[in-house]
C-alpha cells in the first residue's frame, strides 16, 4: 500500500494549489520543497537581511472567482492592498507620463488630458482586444482543457474575434499597438510601455511576429477586475496561506527536502526518492517543475519516449532579464518634469520606457550577446504601502530590466549581469540623483540564479515562454497538453501546463481536477 495518495514535487503556488484541491477531498497529500520556504517563483524572501523581497513574480493579476472560492484564498492569505494607482511610467523630459489609475474614470480623464481623446479610445480598444483574446484562450477560466489554435479560431463567434486571434497568433505586438495608438510621436510613451509589457515573458522584440500574444496575456483582465494588485506582506503570503490550508485538512508540506528522482515501476510513477535517500511512495506524483527539469532530470531521459524527449529539449526557455534586489535608506527623489512622481504613492511602481524603437534596439543587442547601452527598467518599491517589508525608515525595492544577453557564453553571465545592473542604476540615477547613494545593500539576480534556486530551466519563470507555438495544445509539447504525461500516474501541475504563467493558480487547480477525474473514471 502506498504511503500517500499524492506526492507533489515543488511548493510553488501551483503545486500548493494542486495539493489544496486534493487535500480538500480528504486525500493523503505530501508536498516536498527543496527550499526552506514555499512559493517558488512567487515567494517573499528575506534575501537581504532585514528586507523582504518578492522573488520573480510580484504582481497579482486577476483571479478566477471559482478558484478563489474553492482554494479558500480569502481566508488564507489573500489580503489585497488597494491602491489608486497601479503604475507610473515616464520617458525623456518633456513627455507626459502614463499613470495607470485603478479607477477607469480617472484613467480616462488622465488619458484625455495628457494624451488626447484618441488615447482614451485606444485604451478602450486595446482592453477589448485583450478581453476577447483572454476569454478565447481561457486565460482566467479554470477546468477547461487546452484546444488547438485551429479549434480556438473555429470556435470564434464572429469575425471580430477571429481577427483578434489572427493577430495574437501571427502578429507582432507592434501590429496591435499601431492599430490602437498609431501616432508614434504623441503616443510614444504609451507605445513604449505596452511594448515592454509584450516582451516580459518572451524571447522576442516588440516587432517580432508572435509577440502580440504576450501583450494580450500581460494586459488581459476580466471586465470587473483590476489589472495589477499587491498582497499585504508580499506575493508569497498566498503560498503561505495555502500551506496552512493544506495542513488544516491533514496534508503535509515539508520544506528543505530535495527530490532526487521520481521512482518508476514498469513505466509507472510509484513515488519519489529524496536527496537523503528516503523513498516515499504514492498513487500519483504531480510535478510542479517544468518539463525539462521533470523528464530530463527527475525521470531521466532514458525513461521517456525518444520523440517526447526531443520535443521537451526544443522548448524555448531563454530568460532574458535580471532582477536587482535593493535595500534603500530613502526613497528616490525624481527631478525636473518627473518630480510629480514624488507625491503620494506613485513611486511604488515606476517604469522608464522611451519607445518601442528603443526597446527593439535593446532586443537587437541581446540577440547578439551584448548588453543594451540604455536598458529599459521597471522599479517596484512595495514597502511604500507595506512598511512591514523593511526596517523603519527604510525601503525594500526591486528592479526588472530587459534584455539580458542570456545566449552569451555561460562563463560571462556573472560579469554581464553586473554590467547591466550598473547601467540600470546609472539610468535611474539620472532621473533621481539621490538613488545610487540611497542603496545600502543590493543583490543582482540573473537567470542562472533562478535556475539554481527554483530548478526552472535557464531561469525561465514561465516554464515555456509565451510564444504561440508553445501555448494551448502545444504546451508543454504536442500530444501531452492535458496535464497527463507519457509516464503513467505522473502529472505536470505547474506553469508548463495550460494556460501558462502568472499567479492564477489555474494550472495546479486544473491538474488536480484531472487527477480526480481520472480516479473516478
Mean pLDDT for 89-99 is: 87
Mean pLDDT, rounded, for 270-298: 98
What is the per-residue pLDDT for 61? 78
Q: At what angle do helices 13-24 and 236-248 cross, to 10 degrees?
A: 20
Mean pLDDT of 499-513: 96
Same structural domain, 116 and 31 = no
Q: What pLDDT sits at residue 93?
A: 78
Q: Which of 445, 468, 503 is the last residue of a domain?
A: 445
Please enumerate in sequence order all residues whose Cβ is within 8 A of that of 176, keeping only pairs 6 or more positions apart, or say none. 126, 129, 167, 212, 215, 216
The DSSP annotation for 291-303 comes to: HIIIIIIIIIGGG
Strand partners for 378: 351, 400
Task: Give the total number of structural domains in the chain.
Answer: 3
Residue 224 has pLDDT above 70, yes or no: no
Percent over 90 (pLDDT), the chain: 89
Is residue 142 in a domain? yes
Structural domain contains residue 64: no
Q: What is the CA radius of gyration of the chain?
A: 22
Q: Name the band, by pLDDT with cuts 50, 70 and 90, for residue 223.
A: low
What is the pLDDT averaged over residues 17-38? Answer: 97
Exposure string for 263-290, b = 16+ CB within 10 A, e = fewer: bbeeeebbbbebeeeeebbbbbbbbbbb
Distance (Å, rounded) from C-alpha 351 to C-alpha 194? 11
- In the predicted structure, residue 423 carries a pLDDT above the cut 70: yes
Residue in the structure block whose three cell numbers are 494542486: 18
**pLDDT given for residue 84 in this prediction:** 87
Each residue's pLDDT tens digit, 105-157 = 999 999 999 999 999 999 999 999 999 999 999 999 999 999 999 999 999 99
**Domain stops at, among 219, 252, 272:** 219
Intra-chain end-to-end CA distance of the chain, in Å: 21
- Considering the chain, what is the average pLDDT of its residues? 95
Task: Find the CATH number of the domain harbouring 277.
Answer: 3.50.50.60
Report pLDDT digits (tens) over 457-497. 999 999 999 999 999 999 999 999 999 999 999 999 999 99
29 pLDDT above the threshold of 90 = yes
Judge if 311 and 325 occupy the same domain: no
Residues 126 and 237 in one domain: no
Q: Do 112 and 192 fall into the same domain?
A: yes
What letters, b where the CB count within 10 A reaches 16 and e where it falls short, cover 336-370? Answer: ebbeebeeeebbbbbbbbbbbebbbbbbebbbeee
> What's the pLDDT at 465?
97
> Are the C-beta atoms of residues 224 and 216 closer than 8 Å to each other?
no
Residue 435 falls inside a structural domain: yes
Q: 326 and 436 share a domain?
A: yes
Contact 424, 352 (CB under 8 A): no
Q: Hey, how many other C-beta atoms are within 10 angstroms of the C-beta on 86?
A: 18
With a cut of 90, say whether residue 438 has pLDDT above it.
yes
What range defines the domain where residue 309 resides? 4-42+233-315+458-520
- Average pLDDT (57-83) is 88
Do 436 and 503 lie in a common domain? no
pLDDT of 228 above 80 = no
Q: Are strands 259-265 and 268-274 parallel, antiparallel or unpaired?
A: antiparallel
- At residue 429, does pLDDT exceed 70? yes
Are 281 and 39 in contact by the 8 Å Cβ rule? The answer is no
Mean pLDDT of the region 255-270: 97
Q: Evaluate whether residue 329 is within a structural domain.
A: yes
What is the pLDDT, as a whole number, of residue 209?
A: 96
> Distance between CA atoms of 237 and 219, rounded to whole angstroms?
24
pLDDT tens digit sequence for 375-395:
999 999 999 999 999 999 999
521 pLDDT exceeds 70? no
| Same-domain pairing of 304 and 363 | no
Whole-angstrom distance, CA of residue 283 vs CA of residue 516: 12
The answer for residues whose C-beta is within 8 angstroms of residue 152's C-beta and 6 or more apart is 136, 137, 165, 472
Whether residue 304 is contained in a domain is answered as yes
Short-list 381, 353, 358, 361, CA closest to 90: 353
- How many angstroms separate the CA atoms of 494 and 497, rounded? 6
> How is residue 414 written as a grid cell?
556573472
pLDDT value, residue 225: 67
Amino acid at each position: 500500500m502506498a504511503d500517500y495518495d499524492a506526492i507533489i514535487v515543488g511548493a510553488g503556488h501551483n503545486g500548493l494549489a494542486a495539493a489544496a484541491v486534493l487535500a480538500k477531498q480528504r486525500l493523503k497529500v505530501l508536498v516536498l520543497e527543496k527550499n526552506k520556504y514555499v512559493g517558488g517563483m512567487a515567494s517573499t524572501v528575506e534575501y537581504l537581511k532585514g528586507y523582504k523581497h518578492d522573488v520573480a513574480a510580484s504582481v497579482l493579476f486577476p483571479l478566477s472567482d471559482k478558484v478563489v472560492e474553492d482554494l479558500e484564498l480569502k481566508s488564507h492569505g489573500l489580503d489585497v492592498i488597494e491602491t489608486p494607482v497601479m503604475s507610473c511610467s515616464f520617458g525623456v523630459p518633456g513627455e507626459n507620463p502614463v499613470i495607470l489609475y485603478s479607477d477607469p474614470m480617472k484613467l480616462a480623464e488622465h488619458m484625455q488630458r495628457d494624451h488626447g481623446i484618441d488615447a482614451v479610445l485606444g485604451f478602450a480598444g486595446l482592453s477589448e482586444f485583450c478581453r476577447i483574446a483572454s476569454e478565447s484562450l481561457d486565460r482566467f477560466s479554470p477546468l477547461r482543457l487546452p484546444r488547438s489554435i485551429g479549434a480556438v479560431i473555429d470556435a470564434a463567434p464572429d469575425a471580430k474575434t477571429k481577427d483578434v486571434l489572427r493577430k495574437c497568433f501571427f502578429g507582432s505586438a507592434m501590429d496591435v499597438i499601431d492599430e490602437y495608438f498609431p501616432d508614434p510621436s504623441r503616443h510614444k510613451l504609451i507605445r513604449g510601455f505596452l511594448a515592454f509589457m509584450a516582451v516580459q515573458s518572451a524571447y522576442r522584440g516588440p516587432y517580432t511576429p508572435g509577440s502580440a500574444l504576450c501583450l494580450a496575456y500581460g494586459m488581459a483582465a476580466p471586465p470587473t477586475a483590476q489589472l495589477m494588485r499587491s498582497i499585504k506582506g508580499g506575493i508569497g503570503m498566498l503560498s503561505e496561506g495555502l500551506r496552512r490550508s493544506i495542513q488544516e485538512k491533514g496534508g503535509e508540506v515539508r520544506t528543505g527536502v530535495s527530490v532526487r528522482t521520481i521512482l518508476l515501476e514498469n513505466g509507472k510513477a510509484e513515488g519519489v526518492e529524496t536527496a537523503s535517500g528516503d523513498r516515499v511512495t504514492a498513487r500519483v506524483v504531480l510535478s510542479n517543475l517544468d518539463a525539462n527539469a521533470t523528464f530530463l532530470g527527475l525521470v531521466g531521459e532514458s525513461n521517456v519516449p525518444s520523440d517526447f524527449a526531443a520535443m521537451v529539449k526544443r522548448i524555448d526557455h531563454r530568460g532574458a532579464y535580471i532582477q536587482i534586489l535593493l535595500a534603500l535608506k530613502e526613497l528616490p527623489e525624481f527631478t525636473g518634469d518627473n518630480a510629480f512622481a514624488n507625491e503620494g504613492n506613485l513611486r511604488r511602481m515606476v517604469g522608464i520606457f522611451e519607445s518601442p524603437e528603443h526597446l527593439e534596439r535593446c532586443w537587437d543587442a541581446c540577440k547578439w550577446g551584448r548588453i543594451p547601452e540604455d536598458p529599459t527598467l521597471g522599479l517596484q518599491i512595495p514597502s511604500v504601502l507595506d512598511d512591514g517589508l523593511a526596517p523603519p525608515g527604510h525601503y525594500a525595492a526591486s528592479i526588472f530590466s530587459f534584455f539580458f544577453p542570456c545566449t552569451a557564453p555561460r562563463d560571462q553571465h556573472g560579469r554581464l549581469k553586473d554590467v547591466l545592473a550598473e547601467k540600470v542604476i546609472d539610468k535611474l540615477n539620472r532621473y533621481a540623483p539621490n538613488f545610487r547613494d540611497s542603496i545600502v545593500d543590493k543583490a543582482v539576480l540573473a537567470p542562472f540564479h533562478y535556475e539554481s534556486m527554483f530548478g526552472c530551466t535557464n531561469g525561465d519563470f514561465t516554464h515555456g515562454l509565451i510564444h504561440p507555438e508553445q501555448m494551448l495544445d502545444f504546451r508543454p509539447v504536442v500530444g501531452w497538453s492535458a496535464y497527463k504525461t507519457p509516464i503513467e500516474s505522473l502529472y505536470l501541475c505547474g506553469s508548463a501546463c495550460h494556460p501558462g504563467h502568472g499567479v492564477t493558480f489555474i494550472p495546479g487547480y486544473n491538474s488536480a481536477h484531472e487527477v480526480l477525474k481520472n480516479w473516478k473514471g
